[in-house]
Amino acid sequence: MGVFERVARPAILAVGRSDGIRRAAEGLPVTRHVVHRFVPGETVASALDSVAQLRNSARLVSIDYLGEDVTDVDAANATVDAYLGLLDALDNRGEPAATVRPLEVSLKLSALGQALPRDGEKIALENAHTICERAQRAGAWVTVDAEDHTTTDSTLSIVRDLRTEFHWLGTVLQSYLKRTQSDCEEFAASGARIRLCKGAYDEPASVAYREREDVTDSYLRCLRVLMVGDGYPMVASHDPEIITAVPAMARESGRGVDDFEYQMLYGIRDAEQRRLAGEGNHVRVYVPFGTQWYGYFVRRLAERPANLKFFLRALAERRHR
């Protein structure tokens, strides 16, 4: 990790935890305009517009209704309702059935009540179950997102419970956590869909690799475990080193193009997404939408200095118009 990244990343993530800065940023029209690079809109209609464009270019989608760390049951219920409305809209698209489902929604369990002080894990499980039932009727997949390391045990416990009924349910594992290779071994053996990403939270060295090279090395080790396992690996990375390593790893493990997929975020490396899809690979784009975009956006800035430089340059250009 370079000096800029080492210093900037914790500072940017700290900004993400400031309610005052969040309120100021959300109130600036110029900020909201630039945010659309990564978050295409705030409504289901805007999300569906992006879905249509991506599907027309042979890409798959995973849609995330933004929000996390809800503090009351009503907010968790509102999130469930939003997902049910989204899945109703996706069901009406009439996508044909396929082994690899082209439509997926991504859930954060903290948005479904996981952190509530009373029965939070039970509430999140029940809410996720409701969404999975509706997704199954709509012919869509569900993947449970990862959050900071303090939630990992609870999240994976809920995922194990849900997979007894919804075997197609996926979850996210983060290669910067030192525990992740072991988690990959468990879930690969059980045949799970696993989205492997590097990780976007500021985790302590006691539980996470802090240097970029160590995170990448861990990613490649974990990906190899998933490739030789019985599940469905989802390679969630924009890193050229990782993307370059995938074809040989897939060949060595006997996987064809239907046996794994690439995943990238909306607004990042669009040309590379198109290139991979044009070569016949499954490429899924993570499309976030909603009004609670601030935390997601700050993590995108913290992940790569290029994103922060883009944001500052775009702000300067907008202000001088």
Give the pLDDT confidence of 259-276 residue by residue, as tens digits.
Answer: 999 999 998 899 999 999
Distance CA 123, CA 100 (A): 30
> Is-catalytic flag, 193?
no
What is the rounded average pLDDT of the residues 7-19?
Answer: 51
- pLDDT bracket for residue 165 (50, 70, 90): very high
Distance CA 235, CA 226 (A): 10
Helix (H, G, I), strand (E, B) or coil at 288: strand
Active-site residue identified among 9, 59, 134, 145: 145
Q: pLDDT: is 301 or 307 the higher one?
A: 301
pLDDT (0 to 100) of residue 119: 96
pLDDT at residue 34 greater than cutoff 70 = no
Span 145-154, pLDDT tens digits: 999 999 999 9
Distance CA 259, CA 104 (A): 17
pLDDT (0 to 100) of residue 295: 72
- pLDDT bracket for residue 318 (50, 70, 90): very low
Those residues whose C-beta lies under 8 Å from the C-beta of residue 52, and which sit 6 or more positions away, are: none
Residue 299 φ then ψ, to 5°: -65, -35
> Is-catalytic flag, 145?
yes
Span 199-249, pLDDT tens digits: 988 899 999 999 999 999 999 999 999 999 999 999 999 999 999 999 999
Helix (H, G, I), strand (E, B) or coil at 289: strand
Closest CA to 129 of 81, 165, 154, 98: 165
Distance CA 93, CA 96 (A): 9
Active-site residue identified among 195, 255, 299, 300: 195
Mean pLDDT of the chain: 88
